[in-house]
């Protein structure tokens, strides 16, 4: 949804932008191109491999692109560090990058049989192997049900527990096969293990916690008329963005039917998208991974 993102973000010269999910650098490249000759981008990513590849890919923009290995939750501190404090635009693309899906050694996808890992930041200690082999059944069930929206979460959790008592589950292939057996295959257009892998990735990287924390006061990072654009790929992510943006757009957050306002809140932003924008049919044909994308945007007031 690059076109829709740029139409809402409106990159211009003399402006500064934060790409909180740098990934392969596709969005940053467009921002830098459209904000020529002197627009600046600060790109954040916690994956060292992605940073190295993107730095090389965008080396022609080296003087206008700052890159830091960090999560977007650290944006405020890093903006102070580089002397920006506030920016004219913020972008978050919350989808898993092609780099992660196509990397054989990172354990994000069951397309390749590799060690269960799924850490976006390999400096952290908890990985998918530990979650699958050490978390109690009740916690696994909750992860699969809440983060994967998997109706048969308990069946999967019990199958994992039975298997790990005999032998640790070590690879993506082993887990995908186990889930497929537990669910009896099925006629769905997606692989039976898709939701399980999604849920594990979200749990390992604490993705929803990170997003919720950032959205608490992310509007403070925007200059007047600055815009934030967020692309989500999961209903829980979209719900968090929707809730935050709607709160920012209100001038009072007191409970309904309150006679007098006492919250002290004031409007922080206006909605640019009353409903989420969805990818075009053409885009989903070209890139099937985009089919679940939802885009929302808001402008600081």
Q: Region 191-200: what's the mean pLDDT?
A: 93
Reported as type and span, the H/E element at residue 213 is: helix 207-215
pLDDT of residue 287: 81
Pairing of strands 269-271, 294-300: antiparallel
Distance CA 49, CA 39 (A): 25
Question: Could you read off the pLDDT of 130-169 as tens digits, one per residue?
Answer: 999 999 999 999 999 999 999 999 999 999 999 999 999 9
Q: What is the DSSP letter of 2?
A: H
Q: What is the DSSP letter of 277?
A: B
pLDDT of residue 82: 96
As given in the structure block, the two tokens for residue 265 are 């809140």
Distance CA 247, CA 263 (A): 12
| pTM as predicted | 0.91
Superfamily designation of domain 2-97+208-300: Vaccinia Virus protein VP39 (3.40.50.150)
Question: Do the domains at 2-97+208-300 and 100-207 have one common CATH topology?
Answer: no
Is the confidence at residue 37, as pLDDT, over 80? Answer: yes
Is the confidence at residue 99, as pLDDT, over 80? Answer: no
- Dihedrals phi, psi of 296, to nearest 5 degrees: -130, 150
pLDDT of residue 175: 96
Strand 269-271's sheet: what is its strand order? 65-69, 40-45, 16-19, 87-93, 222-232, 294-300, 269-271
Is the confidence at residue 187, as pLDDT, over 60? Answer: no
Distance CA 115, CA 174 (A): 10
- Dihedrals phi, psi of 299, to nearest 5 degrees: -125, 135
As given in the structure block, the two tokens for residue 73 are 């939750």
**Domain 100-207 class?**
mainly alpha
As given in the structure block, the two tokens for residue 91 are 């972008």
Q: Sketch the domain layout of the chain as residue ranges.
A: 2-97+208-300, 100-207
């Amino acid at each position: 949804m690059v076109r829709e993102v740029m139409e809402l973000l409106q990159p211009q010269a003399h402006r500064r932008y934060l790409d909180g999910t740098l990934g392969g650098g596709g969005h940053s490249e467009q921002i830098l191109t459209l904000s020529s000759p002197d627009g600046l981008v600060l790109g954040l990513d916690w994956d060292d491999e992605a940073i190295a590849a993107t730095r090389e890919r965008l080396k022609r923009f080296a003087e206008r692109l700052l890159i830091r290995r960090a999560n977007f939750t650290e944006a405020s501190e890093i903006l102070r560090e580089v002397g920006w404090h506030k920016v004219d635009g913020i972008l978050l693309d919350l989808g898993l990058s092609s780099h992660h899906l196509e990397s054989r050694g990172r354990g994000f996808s069951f397309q390749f049989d590799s060690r269960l890992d799924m850490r976006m930041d390999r400096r952290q200690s908890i990985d998918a192997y530990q979650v699958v082999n050490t978390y109690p059944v009740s916690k696994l069930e909750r992860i699969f049900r809440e983060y994967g929206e998997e109706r048969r979460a308990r069946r999967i959790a019990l199958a994992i527990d039975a298997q790990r008592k005999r032998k640790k589950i070590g690879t993506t292939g082993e887990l995908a096969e186990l889930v497929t057996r537990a669910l009896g295959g099925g006629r769905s257009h997606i692989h039976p293990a898709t939701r399980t892998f999604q849920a594990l990735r979200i749990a390992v990287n604490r993705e929803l916690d990170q997003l919720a924390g950032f959205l608490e006061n992310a509007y403070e990072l925007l200059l007047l008329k600055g815009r934030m654009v967020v692309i989500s790929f999961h209903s829980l992510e979209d719900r968090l963005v929707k809730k935050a943006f709607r709160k920012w757009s209100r001038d009072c957050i007191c409970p309904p039917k309150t006679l007098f306002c006492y919250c002290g809140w004031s409007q922080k932003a206006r909605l640019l998208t009353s409903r989420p924008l969805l990818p075009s049919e053409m885009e989903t044909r070209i890139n099937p991974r985009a089919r679940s994308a939802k885009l929302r945007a808001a402008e600081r007031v």
